[in-house]
Chain A
Amino acid sequence: MENETILEVREKDGLLIHQGVIRVPYTWAAGAVASKFYAGLRNKRIYGVRCPTCRIVLVPPKKTCHRCFGELSEWVEVGHEGTLQTFTVVHYHEPELHPLKAPFAYGIIKLDGADTGMTHVIAEADLKALKEGMRVKAVFKEIPGGNYLDIKYFKPVKGEK
């Protein structure tokens, strides 16, 4: 794979501008903890970990508690539903970054049973009616890929006032 290409050379104010791109391939190891989390998502189960010292459940899970630096080994299943803590409706377009076409929303969701929030996408929703405290539910991807978007997005729970 080419890792650097001069695509074109332009001129500005009598000076040359070389336009290029850098392509470096990456294979990130998710590690045992994230792998277990994604294995859970594959089975439509959302797991977190519990810190016995701080008595909080962290979702997504991780290996070390940032507060007490203790090792986290107690796995806890949390619900598919949760409460929307904060959100934003995105109106600008970044097709190479955004998972959905704008307008769509990002939000931080505290799942039932979790003490920390999960940042994710909100969709299948009336974007003008989003509110802090509203109940949302995870929608899973039909064919999971072993990554964060195996939860496609969160959508408002029907019948929610």
Chain B
Amino acid sequence: MGTRTAVVGVGQTNHTSKRKDVNGQELINEAVKRALEDASLSLKDIDAIVIGNMDHFEAINVVDGWSVDGSGAFMKPIMKVTTGGSTGGTLGSCGYYHVASGLFDVVMAIGWEKNSESDTQAAISTCSDPILERDFFGGAIGPNAAEYAMYMKQFGATQEDAALVAVREHNNAVKNPYAHLRKLITVEDVMKSPMLCWPIKLLDSCPRSDGACAVIYASERKAPKIAARPAWVHATAVSHDYVYFGDYDWEKMPTCQATVDRVYQRAGITNPLRDVDVMELYLPFSTCGVVWMDFMRFCDLGEAPKLIRKGVFDMNGELPINPSGGVMSTNPIGATGLIRIGEAALQIMGKAGERQVSDVRTAMATAFGSCYWFEATVLRSTKP
């Protein structure tokens, strides 16, 4: 049996479109300092560090070594993990396993991205196979647009259903001081926004942001001394089941299902709507916030629009999703998945300020990226 592990501190920068005042190391440092402050720890209390981003966005090789001034890794163990958009989830798991192994007591996971420093689509396009897929790869939007087009046709979902998700995400963000986009919008605003790739419009899409997030994990021995209400890690799961976009089964979302089924089983969750109090989901487009609800096992296939129209996932609903405003409000890609974990942890720790959901005992965070890869983490206020 491994060492029980909890999140004891979270720090993030005020995410924005361009941070010209700081270079990457300095950006990382802001999040690190805030996480240490949040946990009332100093750097010497950190036993190991793990860091991640998506390399082609900043073109820095060996980011772990380069990050030392910002991450505090001088004369400490540091390593780098990266899995594309799901990097943040990968980071959280890596921090968790460092501590769960029993080899380290307090470990910091850092996710960051300075998306403003590169041409995002140009950098992303190199994720597709150069010989077989790159010429046809339409960036991140294409596949998701096609997915929703199929879903609308099959189940009668509408663009307005997706717009409801967009409105929820954006309006939640207004209460999150760290969010990038903080502006109240309406369904009408979404419907009128420029069409990007039918049926996805501008306000249905995530921004790209500059930002960093640091999450501190601690062992059973140390966690209660650091945090009044640690967020205990109960389970993680991940699915990297596909390599080629053409192989993916759009109607079954096998990676989403494999991941959530595995994490629910490991965490003892049988009815997620009932058993989980809040979720921070990696939804890069509002349409994902419709389609994926079926595959999260909240309802039967095609029933998601009903739940959305009823407000089940709103702040005062049965299962609030993305009180932070989610990816649609803030998206520094290497950090985004880790921000989900950090926000879910803040909910359990009771430190989510104006975006706090009441009486949170079980929270879940997901990460998404690359070839429909999913990663999930379940946190609870009680020890596993």
Q: Is there any pair of Cβ atoms, one from A and one from B, under 8 angstroms apart in the complex?
A: yes
Residues of chain A having any CB pair with chain B under 8 Å: 1, 3-4, 6, 18, 20, 22-34, 62-67, 69
The segment from B67-75, B102-110, B299-307, B354-362 that touches chain A is B67-75
With beta carbons under 8 angstroms apart, the residue of B19, B59, B69, B118 that contacts A64 is B69
Q: Assess the A29–B130 pair: CB atoms within 8 A.
A: no
Pairs A–B under 8 Å by Cβ, sample size 15: A4-B126, A4-B134, A22-B126, A23-B122, A24-B126, A26-B117, A28-B117, A30-B23, A31-B20, A31-B21, A31-B22, A31-B26, A32-B21, A32-B22, A34-B23
Asked whether A27 lies within 8 Å of B74 as measured between CB atoms, the reply is no
Whether A64 lies near B70 (C-beta < 8 A) is yes
Contact across chains for A3 and B22 when beta carbons are under 8 A apart: no
Is B257 on the interface with A (CB-CB < 8 A)?
Answer: no
Residue ID in chain A nearest B22 by CB atoms? A31
* Residues on B with beta carbons closer than 8 Å to the beta carbon of A65: 69
Which of B18, B19, B23 has most chain A Cβ within 10 Å? B23
CB contacts (< 8 Å) of B117 on chain A: these are 26-29
Does B56 reach chain A (CB closer than 8 Å)?
yes
**Residue among A4, A23, A24, A66 making CB contact with B68, cutoff 8 Å:** A66
Given contacts A62-B69, A64-B29, contact A27 B116 (CB under 8 A): yes
B side interface size, CB within 8 A:
32
Q: Which of B109-167 contact A (CB under 8 A)?
A: 114, 116-119, 122-123, 125-126, 130-131, 134
Q: Are A18 and B130 in contact (CB under 8 A)?
A: yes
Q: Which residue of B lies closest to A22 (CB)?
A: B126
A24 vs B118: C-alpha distance when bound (angstroms): 7
CB of B43 within 8 A of chain A?
Answer: yes
Complex Cα–Cα for A66 and B116 (A): 26
Residues of chain B within 8 A (CB-CB) of A64 are 25-26, 29, 69-70
CB-contact partner of B130 in A4, A26, A62, under 8 A: A4
Select A25's contact among B43, B122, B131, beta carbons within 8 Å.
B122
- Looking at A6, A33, A69, the one whose CB has the most chain B CB atoms below 10 A away is A69
